[in-house]
Amino acid sequence: MEHCKLFLLLIGLSCVVCGILSDKPRNVLLMMADDGGFEMGAYRNKICQTPNLDRLAKRSLIFNDAFTSVSSCSPSRAALLTGMPSHQNGMYGLHQAENHFNSFGDVKTLPNILSTHGVRTGIIGKKHVGPSSVYKFDYEQTEENNSIFQVGRNITYMKLLAREFLTNSTEPFFLYVAFHDPHRCGHTNPEYGEFCQRFGNGDVGMGKIPDWQPIYYVPEQIELPYFIQDTMEARRDLAAQYTTISRLDQGVGVILKELEDAGHLDDTLIIYSSDNGIPFPNGRTNFYDSGIREPMFMSSPIHTGRRNKVTYSMASLLDIVPTILDWFNISDDVEIDTNEILESNRGLTGKSLLPLLIQEPSNYTDEAIFASHNMHEVTMYYPMRAIRTKRYKLIHNLNYNAPFPICMK
């Protein structure tokens, strides 16, 4: 009898806890690296020091098989925010400058959907998509109204912007922090170094970012990815990238501290990933795993049973929109049931990843991710389509007679 009472008491307590959690407002913090890879301890890199990302990984589900649907900046970010591949959302190439690509005007995007459901939306950092009416956030601090160096690399300034957003959020919120690190900048601002590793490092003329303590690396000690040639030039390049990754990592740390100080660490779904592969040969702009495989962490304040565990289920950045809509309990109101070519068939492609926070699938035989690439810069037309399962990958190069346009910028 006593055992029955204890059992009923435990059930009652669990119901109370569930009730408390379900009544709390739910928020989302999405953090994205720019050309980021697996250079962190959580993915077994023993050289690149990333204590903040590693700490986030320990309170997250760690994805071993996460992929972008397109290995190019603007198309990837448009896919991230629409849940649709680039050939469906219209962002065929880069958005900025002479490239001038935009998504279709009738595409429904995550910030616009959330705003209509009472969720306050904010973006800090690199936006790189358009038109503005399609990707409209309630709070915007991006390259469109700031220097990209300040809102994407100056982690102290980004911290203050995050504080401003969080302090003024009384309703549920979605905050998208898009770091510009560790993207190259040698082609635009060579004075800062190939990866902007000198920007804000305290050297003469470089300024000082108060929240960044740069970490420098010896090229001979760098762990080279399997797809990069082992030359001293490549090692020096990666050493510079590692230093910039230290700014990204410490930026993740200060953003998470702002979230905690605002009292939202325990009611916010936190997602970390990157837009595409690293900017090296065989990396960004191709469909080999080195170009589309991405790091991904997902930390839930409610689903804690699989923290610091690894999922081998296949995931895509196309899954981010369905996941966040599921988190806010918003139904998919952009699905269209038609295959007619002339109709606007632009439904969501992905699936919610929240079930993975509870249980690993028993098998992966039916899982697949899809990729669609048209071009990077406007002069780099090389359309590709791909499907990737656990065992097989098919890459269809539609314009295979053309020379492959390698982008290193």
Partnered with residue 394 across adjacent β-strands are 387
**DSSP one-letter code for 403:** P
CB within 8 Å of 177: residues ≥ 6 apart:
29, 30, 31, 32, 123, 124, 125, 158, 162, 255
Element (H, E) at 82: helix 73-82
The C-alpha atoms of residue 98 and residue 380 are separated, in whole angstroms, by 13
CA 376 to chain centre: 18
Contact between 121 and 28 under an 8 Å Cβ cutoff? The reply is no
Q: Which residues are known catalytic residues?
A: 73
The C-alpha atoms of residue 342 and residue 88 are separated, in whole angstroms, by 13
12: number of CA atoms within 13 Å, CB side?
6
The C-alpha atoms of residue 111 and residue 132 are separated, in whole angstroms, by 11
Residue 182, preceding peptide bond in cis (omega within 30° of 0): yes
Backbone angles phi, psi at 381, to 5 degrees: -70, 115
At 229, the amino acid letter reads Q
